[in-house]
Chains A and B, each alone.
Chain A
Amino acid sequence: MQFGVFSVSDITPDPTTGVTPSEGERIKAAIAIAKKTEEVGMDVYAVGEHHNPPFFSSSPTTLLAAIAAQTERLVVSTATTLITTNDPVKIAEDFAMLQHVSDGRVDLMLGRGNTGPVYPWFGKDIRSGIQLAIENYALLHQLWREDVVDWEGHFRTPLQGFTSTPRPLDGVPPFVWHGSIRSPEIAEQAAYYGDGFFANHIFWPASHTQRMIALYRQRFAHYGHGEEKDAIVGLGGQLYLAKNSQDAKREFRPYFDNAPVYGHGPTLEEFSEQTPLAVGSPQEIIDKVLGFREYVGDYQRQMFLMDHAGLPLSSVLKQLDLLGEEVIPVLRRELDARRAPGVPDVPTHASLVAANGGARDFRPGANRGDNLTDGSPYQTPVEA
């Protein structure tokens, strides 16, 4: 079981002080939070992708490379990478590079994005969101697995004799999660490829998350990747914790009440009852998170949203300490004890290399200057 922190990278005024952090402060805070995530014994840090204020994260791989350089074992990931408006070729290249510089400590999550104008800004049509996610991923999948690609689709200029470089580290692509709140097509896509499925889980009621994951598991088995319990499931969640319940609610309430995503609507109590939001003491957090397993089955990755809504860095770090000391060890122990035998872990770089029959180290041959008629320098890779 992996635990991690994911950020949407919002820059929001702190409602208790009125202070809005600078972009620079928030970017450095993200690195500090990621380092703390590792320090307190958690496994993954992931950041979203946005191309509009008030979000700072337009270049996740650059930020994640810096984080990977400053950590030892943390897996860096995204939540999400926009498979709709990014060129799949650039995604293949960026993440292969991140894989190399982080020694394989990377996976990524694909999503469609929820900001309408991003599509036209990047020359795309939001009405084709699903088709873009499907076709672009098919190309990305191919670029990482075939050294020389001929390809033609609807949305991108065709490729003839194209090699995406660097080739994935050791010949295995990063593990991919497909994230979706409401689209069964994306659960189907994750199942088809035997990839992971991540349910954001934050904004929608548990019954919906339960049905999406049940669909993914069923289709995962249908496509021959194993039994339903072998499917790789990730869940989002959000929490605010303090030593005791009253302090947690009192401290978090002004942030909740003014948060761009859910402020000025339901009360903290109503929202906590209807969604995975957990605000309270370590024991309350433990009880709530253990409850997730009851409706999605044994799952592999639990991510928490911690640094949003204007919460200052000091508060986030303090909570991560408490989370690492009092919550994560108990959750690991309890979830391991309850886990059905044979349920797999999230694939890591090492496990993917092993499953692939060992590492491949690509060395381009001499470039003969004409990839079309003479073959690419990657056509006959030299084994190390």
Chain B
Amino acid sequence: MTTRNLAVVAAGVGAPSSTRMLADRLSAAAIEALRDEFGTQVQASVFELRDTAKDVTNNLVTGFPSPRLADVIEAVAGADGLIIVTPVFNASFNGLFKSFLDVIEPSALTGLPTLIGATGGSPRHSQVLDYAMRPVLTYMHADVLPTGVYAATEDWAGQADASLPSLPDRIARAGREFAARVAVTDRSSRLTDPFALDGSFSVTGGFSAE
């Protein structure tokens, strides 16, 4: 049975956090789908960014991560799939979410199947997935799934709008679609040594030094 590495990142700042709750639900759905539909085992690492909030800020100032933050970055960069969830603050992702992306090498997420989620007080912020999260992750060349999951406060209490799929239904769908992408990627086995040189690199600048 094959194994895939999953990184789950929740940018919530409260404890307990509904953002963490959504991240857990999404990862459970993905793990279940990977197991049942693709026969794939999952090694999941879950991170709440609030635990490294100071490290993220310090990294912005000093230019290097603390060992604890380096572990998070390494797990994310080396994953076969990323589930990343942010709360909505002032109509966008929160600062911690963006600061975390800012301390990652721009190429670290290239080709990484990514499932985005967001939580907010009102359903009116649901487009944050597409106008805020998606562009920044696309810029980083992550492979962002078309389906994301937004959970407003009222979604946690039964069915907010009976004409629409419920939150559990949306989570299950996103989990299945994400699992299909993660199941076929061989990303974690293809990761190159960060010290490897580009094939076109010439140590003498293209002409003989002697």
Q: Do A and B bind each other?
A: yes
Which positions in A face B, CB cutoff 8 Å? 130-131, 134-138, 141-142, 145, 152-154, 184-185, 187-189, 192-193, 203-205, 208, 211-212, 215, 261-266, 270-271, 274-275
Q: Of the candidates B197, B205, B210, which one forms a contact with A135 in the assembled complex, judged by CB atoms under 8 Å apart?
A: B205
Task: Find chain A residues with CB under 8 A from B209 CB.
Answer: 138, 141-142, 193
> In whole angstroms, how far apart are the Cα atoms of A71 and B64 in the complex?
38
Q: Of the candidates A131, A141, A266, which one forms a contact with B58 in the assembled complex, judged by CB atoms under 8 Å apart?
A: A266
Q: Of the candidates A130, A153, A205, A215, which one forms a contact with B64 in the assembled complex, judged by CB atoms under 8 Å apart?
A: A205
> In whole angstroms, how far apart are the Cα atoms of A153 and B202 in the complex?
13
Chain B 88-100: CB-based contact to A (< 8 A → 1; otherwise 0): 0000000000000
Q: Is the interface of A mostly helix, strand, loop or mixed?
A: helix
| Contact (A134, B203) CB under 8 Å given A185-B197, A193-B209, A211-B195 | yes
Q: Is the interface of B mostly helix, strand, loop or mixed?
A: loop
What is the chain A residue whose CB lies nearest that of B63? Answer: A203
B61 interfacial by beta-carbon distance below 8 Å: yes
What is the chain A residue whose CB lies nearest that of B105? Answer: A182
Chain B 166-210: CB-based contact to A (< 8 A → 1; otherwise 0): 000000000000000000000000000011110001111111011
> In whole angstroms, how far apart are the Cα atoms of A205 and B207 in the complex?
35
Given contacts A192-B203, A265-B61, A266-B58, 17 further A-B contacts (CB under 8 A): A134-B202, A135-B205, A142-B209, A142-B210, A152-B207, A184-B196, A185-B197, A185-B203, A187-B195, A188-B201, A188-B203, A193-B209, A203-B64, A204-B64, A205-B65, A266-B62, A275-B64
> When the two chains form their complex, are residues B66 and A265 in contact, meaning their CB atoms are under 8 A apart?
no
Task: Find chain B residues with CB under 8 A from A211 CB.
Answer: 195
CB distance from A279 to the nearest CB of B (A): 16
| Contact (A265, B58) CB under 8 Å given A142-B209, A270-B66 | yes
> In whole angstroms, how far apart are the Cα atoms of A264 and B65 in the complex?
15
A-B contact pairs, 26 of them (CB 8 A): A134-B202, A134-B204, A134-B205, A136-B205, A138-B205, A141-B209, A142-B210, A153-B206, A153-B207, A154-B206, A185-B201, A192-B203, A204-B63, A205-B64, A205-B65, A205-B67, A211-B195, A262-B62, A263-B61, A265-B57, A266-B58, A266-B61, A266-B66, A271-B62, A274-B64, A275-B64
B140 interfacial by beta-carbon distance below 8 Å: no
> In whole angstroms, how far apart are the Cα atoms of A215 and B196 in the complex?
10
